[in-house]
Structure 1
Amino acid sequence: MGVCDVMIDNISFSPEINTTGITAFSMPGWQLALWTSAYLALVLVAVIGNATVIWIILAHQRMRTVTNYFIVNLALADLCMATFNTAFNFVYASHNIWYFGRAFCYFQNLFPITAMFVSIYSMTAITADRYMAIVHPFQPRLSAPGTQAVIAGIWLVALALAFPQCFYSTITLEQGVTKCVVAWPGDRRGMTHLLYHLVVIALVYFLPLVVMFVAYSVIGLTLWRSAVPGNQAHGVSLRHLQAKKKIVKTMVLVVVTFAVCWLPYHLYFILGNFREDIYCHKFIQQVYLALFWLAMSSTMYNPIIYCCLNRRFRSGFRLAFRCCPWITPTEEDKLELTHTPSLSVRVNRCHTRETLFMAPSEATNGQAGSGQEEMPTGS
């Protein structure tokens, strides 16, 4: 296994212990309390924020658009990651003892990779949708059944990618201490483990980020040069163009936040595969807990970004938390989420083939847009 018998697990990487009760890496009570508070705050913000985003979109017909359905998929993955992974792996990393049984050991080696894959490929799908809407507005758009098929495909591929690690998960008893490990067959030198993790990191991080970087570069050039095909000919308003820019800025910020949060964590795993002796140091537990918190914090930032940069989501959050004495939603907030301009008004505002080619269902959902900054597809 390596210099310090490092426990191999995709989402929990912590040093092995030498005794049956207290580990060599046990923390003082005050330190454990600080980490517990930090992780608890993360979980609460992530769960409440993402649950609110899902409610805003699904409970209001005007918000049910292709881009927003992918945002629901992203929020669901983040919510589940915060609920089912963050707290349990924090306990494992801080105590180095697996308390949660064999079945949950399988789940913990299946779900984190699945959720990461779903998160970043939901962002990639949003990028593709924005690319088609802005760079190729005259091409047919993704239909509702097509959106559902893409979302289902993302989940199926994610589960397939995570299945090998889940399949080889096992519970071991080492010096009287229970461990949840991944025991790759015939992998004494760890090459199978290394290859699998490099493939996973490439597929759930580097490859989609490169694709999104290229796509958003083209989108940015198209928008900031005001060169969207048909815009000049049909006289789309400056406000409408600014709305498109606002959507792109929001999604770019979401992608950049994800990339920054996860990069140190992935580098930690890559370094650990080549220098296992780093896990022998006392300080590595604090390093791991900090990097793991940063990675998991990616699950709580998106709702904050939507609320800060998007008027309709901001109205939705005010409506969702109207029971709080310091929050008073206005009639304008309700109209933002419920009022849909007539199709004739939208056509008069936009006069683009993109609007005229909308499917009837999209027209009723306000997918043509009205020049306001919003998440839905269409313009």
Structure 2
Amino acid sequence: SMDDSLDPFNTTCDLPNDQISIPLPLKLLLVSAYLFVGVTSLIGNFLVLLVVILRRQTRTVTNLFISSVSAADLVITFVSLWATPVAFYERRWIFGEVMCYVVSAIQGASLIWAPFTLAAIAVDRYMLVSSPYKPQMSAKTSLFVIIGIWSGAFLVLTPMLQHVEYFKVGECNSFCIEFWEPTSELRLVYGICVLMIRSGLPLIVISFCHWRIATILASHGRKLMERRNTSEATSASDIKRKQRLQKLLLSMVLIFAVSSFPIDLFNVLQDIQLVYHMSIISDEAKNVLFFLCHWIAMAGCLLNPLVYAWHNDNFRAHIKNLCLSKRSSSFKTIVTNASRIDRTHSRMDLPLNTTTLLDAPDNDDVKL
């Protein structure tokens, strides 16, 4: 029985059938949905990082910040995407003691990395638009900002990590939980404080910066329209480019806000239920709601690189260029090997002009 399996003196491994009840069609749908998000997120965010790492001309301050968001999304995909829903479904922790603390830390920190990085982007763009003739943030400075954001996230999570406990019941059942007794009210207070820090504060900063950016660009646009001088074409083009970039960044902010709000609300309601021993919704509804909210949060990880790719012509060009470079490199290797084999074992000429092919410039040299 279930009681026997939870007996600490029970040394047998008759695991209890304590998994949450989910209809088979819904279970298959969840597995497919999580698999789709995981694979797409890995590919998309990996490509973003690859472009920034391999293409020196893409290492702008904004792109470095965006690559930080992609790195955070990759960490979430590797750690939280599968571990959290599996633990929720199994109602116990099956990944060992080390992973208990690693997942708790990474999952919490990743929820802070993205919004504060987006806030840093907004501040940088605002400074660039409002004070274009002043020294702007350098790539080196942006890296220090990124390191500060990632490190600061763990500092914010210190109280939570101090209350994470891993323990075993019997030989077969392990658990990884936040244990706040006897001061369980602090759990709710801390949760709300973290929510305000990681969501409220960044959204206030982002909203202010983008409002000011939109106001400044609109003002510059009106002045150019009044002048209607052909010599101002460059300035007009620059304003349009900045407006396109602002739309891209606002899209990323909107993705963050929409994807994180459901799971934030779920966590707050769950804390209220635990602290005050209230039953807000049925267990069946809570189970379905958790997976839906968590999946929406994970979907935000794949939407950022997709939005970035479709809003940025240069990014798509760099991806295409990388793919062509790899394909060209592989083709060169094949032709070179074939040429060596032909010179050794055959008098027949290759049908390809290998000299022309091998001497052709790499796609890396093509200016985009």
TM-score, normalised with respect to structure 1: 0.76
Question: CA deviation digits over 1:236-262, x for unaligned, max 9?
Answer: 432221111100100000001110111
Displacement, 1:40?
0.9
Correspondence for 2:194: 200
Displacement, 1:112?
1.3
Correspondence for 2:358: none
Structure 2 residue 198 is the aligned partner of structure 1 residue 225: no
Displacement, 1:37?
1.0
What SS is found at the alignment partner of 2:279?
helix
In 2, Cα distance between the equivalents of 1:229 and 1:22?
70
Residues matched between the structures, number: 312
Contact 1:134 1:228 in 2 (8 A): no
Structure 2 residue 85 is the aligned partner of structure 1 residue 57: no
Correspondence for 1:252: 250
What SS is found at the alignment partner of 2:17?
coil
Structure 2 residue 311 is the aligned partner of structure 1 residue 309: yes
Tell me: CA distance 1:138–1:25, structure 2 relative to 1, closer, same or farther (3 Å).
same
Q: Map 1:162-241 to 2 at 5 A.
A: 162-173=157-168, 177-184=173-180, 187-188=181-182, 190-226=184-220, 235=232, 236-241=234-239
In 2, Cα distance between the equivalents of 1:247 and 1:137?
16
In 2, Cα distance between the equivalents of 1:229 and 1:88?
54
Correspondence for 1:294: 296
Question: CA deviation digits over 1:9-30, x for unaligned, max 9?
Answer: xxxxxxxxxx952226232443
In 2, Cα distance between the equivalents of 1:51 and 1:216?
28
Contact 1:61 1:338 in 2 (8 A): no
Q: Map 1:255-266 to 2 at 5 A.
A: 255-266=253-264
Give the unaligned 5+ runs of structure 2. Answer: 1-13, 328-362
Give the one of 265, 279, 284 matched to 2:286: 284
Greater relative contact order (Cα 8 A, min sep 6): structure 1 or 2? 1
In 2, Cα distance between the equivalents of 1:124 and 1:300?
20
Give the one of 145, 148, 156 matched to 2:143: 148
Contact 1:109 1:162 in 2 (8 A): no
Correspondence for 1:270: 268
Structure 2 residue 28 is the aligned partner of structure 1 residue 33: yes
Displacement, 1:230?
11
**Which has the larger helix fraction?**
2
Tell me: CA distance 1:278–1:154, structure 2 relative to 1, closer, same or farther (3 Å).
same
Correspondence for 1:318: 320
TM-score, normalised with respect to structure 2: 0.78
Tell me: CA distance 1:31–1:174, structure 2 relative to 1, closer, same or farther (3 Å).
farther
The amino acid of 2:259's aligned partner reads C
Contact 2:64 2:139 in 1 (8 A): no
Question: CA deviation digits over 1:350-374, x for unaligned, max 9?
Answer: xxxxxxxxxxxxxxxxxxxxxxxxx
Contact 2:221 2:236 in 1 (8 A): no
The amino acid of 1:140's aligned partner reads P
The amino acid of 1:166's aligned partner reads L
**Root-mean-square deviation (Å):** 2.8
Give the unaligned 5+ runs of structure 1. Answer: 1-18, 325-333, 341-379
Larger Rg: 2
Displacement, 1:229?
10
Tell me: CA distance 1:230–1:241, structure 2 relative to 1, closer, same or farther (3 Å).
same
